[in-house]
Amino acid sequence: MKILHTSDWHLGRSLYGQKRYAEHEAFLNWLIDLIEKEHIEILLVSGDIFDTNTPSNQAQRLYYQFSRHLPRYCQAVIIAGNHDSATFLNASKELLECLNIFVVGQISNNIQDEIFLLQDAQQNPQAIICTVPYLRDKDIRTLESGESVQDKNQQLLKGIKQHYQQVSEYALKLQQRIQKEKTITIPIIAMGHLFTAGAKTVEGDGVRDLYVGSLNHVTADIFPDHLDYVALGHLHTPQVVAGKTHIRYSGSPIPIGFGECSQTKQVILLEFSSTSFEINSIEVPVFQKLIRIQGDLTKIIQDIQLLKKTSSKAWLEIEYTGEEREPRLREKIEEVIFGSELKVLKIKNNLIYNRVMNTLEQQENLQDLTPIDVFKRCLTASEIPENQHNLLISAYNDIIQNLPDLDINAE
């Protein structure tokens, strides 16, 4: 039996305003081809299918288009992540179940709702899947008046561990019953979406510590020893947890930000037989190259020219680290990339950034400033003539005011 583990698709995500639907569609098409080629029987998606709890129409189209093709090849189990709306995923739960796609958006009062016994076409048991979605504070504990932050964190961790134990114990009893009745042993696989202690993240990967720091203290011992494999989501860097090779994050299939641009992305292939269990990674192709360029203007121009010679179509994040003021930095970079298929998504001028940060008063931080405040300081730091300030501030304010009116579902 072959099982494929993936997570953190983040359908609908953009990068510095650049839509990434083409990348996600290419990945999903590749995934379908892989499932067919490898004869995958079960697909596990461990949360963060969407990048937001109000996914755009285009993001939904990709999800349902993939779901429509999937039943021709395998069954699937999907859990909600912290970016997903539990109610949105559950809305199509019954419909997708008819296609052998099982969705768990949130926990229920009945622990059995998080256990799936998957069977093959001949109704033979294949695997027991424990589906624990992203656990929010309100899901697993009751609030108590006067409790300290430490008390809250301890109760939260206790609730997470207790929930995994309850689900796993039920699965173990089911496994033992099947072993007794049918004289076969099938694997127990747990799915989860959380942050484990010692796990690796990278700059700009979008992972937020929503449990106010406590998630960093969720240790691997919350997963009982009788679990054959733990398919985790939430962290975008592929990794093994606490040195236990059967507890893994598959990572995101495409780089979420430029901090991940040098990573090799992957999905995890599990192969079970009556005598063996193998875990292997399969590299995901790069569907859109991301490149980070850093240096002074000379270094930046040289790097761009080298990319142009290779006819690169990469998206670029450029960080100017020179010590000389470059008032026409963007224009000079755009002149260099002209005529190529390179696309500059962001230019960060460290000289200007540091000047803005240096204007902060004592006891003041960036969070204390409004977007207009920051914009005014950028104008000053960039030495824009004062007679242009009012016009630029007015235009910028119009942009800020119009942002809430954008219909994200109309993409």
Q: How confident is the model over 66-112, as pLDDT tens digits?
A: 999 999 999 999 999 999 999 999 999 999 999 999 999 999 889 99
- b/e sequence 196-217, b meaning 16+ C-beta within 10 Å: beebebbebbbbeeebeebbee
Terminus-to-terminus CA distance in the chain, angstroms? 39
Q: Where are the domains of the chain?
A: 2-283, 290-410
Structure tokens at 300: 């930046």
Least confidently predicted of 60-64, 89-93, 322-326, 351-355: 351-355
Q: How far apart are CA 348 and CA 14, in angstroms?
A: 18
Beta bridge partners of 231: 191, 248
Res 2 pLDDT > 90: yes
Tell me what pLDDT residue 215 has.
46
Q: How confident is the model over 339-348, as pLDDT tens digits?
A: 999 999 999 8
Res 283 pLDDT > 70: yes
Architecture of the domain defined by 2-283: 4-Layer Sandwich (3.60)
More confident residue, 397 or 158: 158
CB-based contact 190:167 (threshold 8 Å): yes
Tell me what pLDDT residue 382 has.
77
Q: Considering the chain, what is the average pLDDT of its residues?
A: 88
Q: How confident is the model over 215-250, as pLDDT tens digits?
A: 456 888 899 999 999 999 999 999 999 999 999 999
CB-based contact 230:223 (threshold 8 Å): yes
Least confidently predicted of 124-133, 206-215, 223-232, 400-409: 206-215
Considering Cα of 289, then 295, then 296, then 302, what sign does the dihedral take? negative
Question: Are both 2-283 and 290-410 of the same fold?
Answer: no
Res 206 pLDDT > 80: no
Q: What angle do CA 405, 403, 360 make, to 5 degrees?
A: 150
Res 209 pLDDT > 60: no
Q: Alpha helix (H) ranges present in 319-406?
A: 329-337, 350-358, 371-381, 389-402
Res 147 pLDDT > 60: yes
Res 148 pLDDT > 80: no
CB-based contact 73:43 (threshold 8 Å): no
CB-based contact 191:77 (threshold 8 Å): yes
- b/e sequence 146-174, b meaning 16+ C-beta within 10 Å: eeeeeebbebbbebbbebbeebbebbbeb
For residues 266-286, average pLDDT:
95
Beta bridge partners of 272: 277
Structure tokens at 381: 């730091």
Sheet with strand 188-193: strands edge to edge: 115-119, 125-131, 188-193, 229-233, 244-249, 239-241
Structure tokens at 152: 């809250």
Beta bridge partners of 44: 5, 77
Q: Which residue has the tokens 């207790």?
A: 162
Q: Which CATH number fits domain 290-410: 3.40.1800.10, 3.30.160.720, 3.40.630.10, 3.40.50.10190?
A: 3.30.160.720
